[in-house]
Structure 1
Amino acid sequence: MGLENSRYNIETVICMPGAYTSGTDHFKHAVAAADPTVADQYDKLVGLAQELADKLDATNVPGARTDAKEVAEKIAEVVDMPHGTRPFRFEVDLQQRQAMAVAEKANELRRIFFDRLGVSDLISVSQT
């Protein structure tokens, strides 16, 4: 996770993007194998990528941007933040799947455990 970098005053930032069904070819290429003999073994998944894309689109927050460029813009915004103030993890999620709620709980438990280990300094970098 890059936490060991904090002792060298190097930040680690994890971006958790939502599922952007347009502006990328992810869903187009994510399911089918290039080898037809392998693809035949996954016949029950034919059409799943498009089905998931359609269902994801239906869960987009009304008015949310649906272009993946939003992720790049948020990454640029985080990179421009002063050293020591960047978040360890952030999400750009047009479906609002609440992945950050899970990540925040994991971070809380990690802090508790790292305190017990005596390595809580790994959690953040200094602002110098």
Structure 2
Amino acid sequence: MDKHVILVTGAGSGIGNAIATALARAGHIVYASLRLARPDGQKRAAAIRDLAAAEKLDLRVIDLDVLSEASCRAAVDQVLVEQNRIDVVVNNAGMLMTGVTEAFDPDQLQHIFDTNATSWLRVNRAVLPVMRRQGRGTLAYVSSTTAHIPEPFLGPYVAAKAAGEALAEVMGMEVRSFGIDTVIMVPGAFTSGTEHFAHANTPALPAVVAQYGAFPARAETLGNRLVAIDAAHDGSLDVSAVGEALRDALAKPSGERPFRIFVDAQRKGVEDILSVQDARQADLLRQFGLSDLAPPAW
């Protein structure tokens, strides 16, 4: 099936918007989901509709709050009413927290886990019964290189992304026998094209930050250093690179899509780490008699 019905979460801006746009330009039927009730929701929805009209794309706006299981199910039901199937879901919605980890309160940590990891389970619970009945489908995720190489001042974000990716890996093994593929996007940092840093949440406890003295100010130098790292590796990437990489993966036949795709201008070397992990995992699955659940090579 050349034309997929695709649901992309968090498609109002940044990577999610780039993914939805790239997939719609490739000829797929794409539902770009966002929270229409948020202050800028209608404005973002209008921009997506304007692009769809200007380029004659089958790119549709759908309301979806990944923090609500009822909302996830309602959005999937709407897609099914209109298309009678759903082929791909892209779990992209997320948030960023930056600052000294000790200064975040537990409620903040719970909130970012809810957004960046638990939401993937909510969305999957809505689409997996459909994909199992179809005997096919693809679960795609937007993870992060920081899930494998942690960085200071990103503690809650790193932990949530690592949890989300672990969840995606296990669910991928459990649904593989139903003809359902898993594709995990592993992007590096982008210095432009997203609102992640502009909208990042900061610690709730400034009195704790103060106890670290001058140390937190070191985080302010990282943006310029990131630009320098990009420049040393042939320049920065645009967020459109993530959408184009997923577009190319979905063009492959089911069962042949890469399990992981790295879009990392900083060339951190996450591939080297995961090649060892995947080999050890494959050996363990072999000993369990579960080799058929191992992900394909990437």
Amino acid at match of 1:90: I
Amino acid at match of 1:85: E
Number of corresponding residues: 121
Measure how far apart 1:41 and its partner are: 2.5
Q: Measure, in 2, the Cα distance between the counterparts of 1:64 and 1:86.
A: 28
Q: Do 1:17 and 1:93's aligned partners in 2 also have CA atoms closer than 8 Å?
A: yes
Q: Do 1:16 and 1:90's aligned partners in 2 also have CA atoms closer than 8 Å?
A: yes
Q: Measure, in 2, the Cα distance between the counterparts of 1:96 and 1:79.
A: 24
Q: Do 1:65 and 1:94's aligned partners in 2 also have CA atoms closer than 8 Å?
A: yes
After superposition, the Cα gap between the structure-2 partners of 1:46 and 1:104, relative to the gap in structure 1 and judged at 3 Å, is same
Aligned-pair Cα RMSD in Å = 2.1
What is the TM-score normalised by the length of structure 1? 0.81
**5+ residue gaps in structure 2?**
1-168
**5+ residue gaps in structure 1?**
none
Q: Do 1:111 and 1:123's aligned partners in 2 also have CA atoms closer than 8 Å?
A: yes
Residues 63-72 or 113-122, more deviating: 63-72
Q: Following superposition of structure 1 onto structure 2, how do residues 12-91 of structure 1 map, counting pairs within 5 Å? A: 12-30=182-200, 32-33=202-203, 35=204, 38-43=205-210, 44=212, 45-46=216-217, 48=219, 50-60=220-230, 61-91=232-262
What is the TM-score normalised by the length of structure 2? 0.37
Measure how far apart 1:114 and its partner are: 0.4
After superposition, the Cα gap between the structure-2 partners of 1:24 and 1:39, relative to the gap in structure 1 and judged at 3 Å, is farther
Q: Do 2:233 and 2:267's aligned partners in 1 also have CA atoms closer than 8 Å?
A: no
Secondary structure, counterpart of 2:280 in structure 1: helix
Q: Measure, in 2, the Cα distance between the counterparts of 1:96 and 1:18.
A: 8
Secondary structure, counterpart of 2:177 in structure 1: helix
Q: Measure, in 2, the Cα distance between the counterparts of 1:57 and 1:72.
A: 21
Q: Deviations over 1:53-104 (max 9, x none)?
A: 2112111144344311111111111122211111111200001101011111
Q: Measure, in 2, the Cα distance between the counterparts of 1:124 and 1:99.
A: 17
Amino acid at match of 1:73: E
Residues 62-71 or 39-48, more deviating: 39-48
Secondary structure, counterpart of 1:12 in structure 2: strand
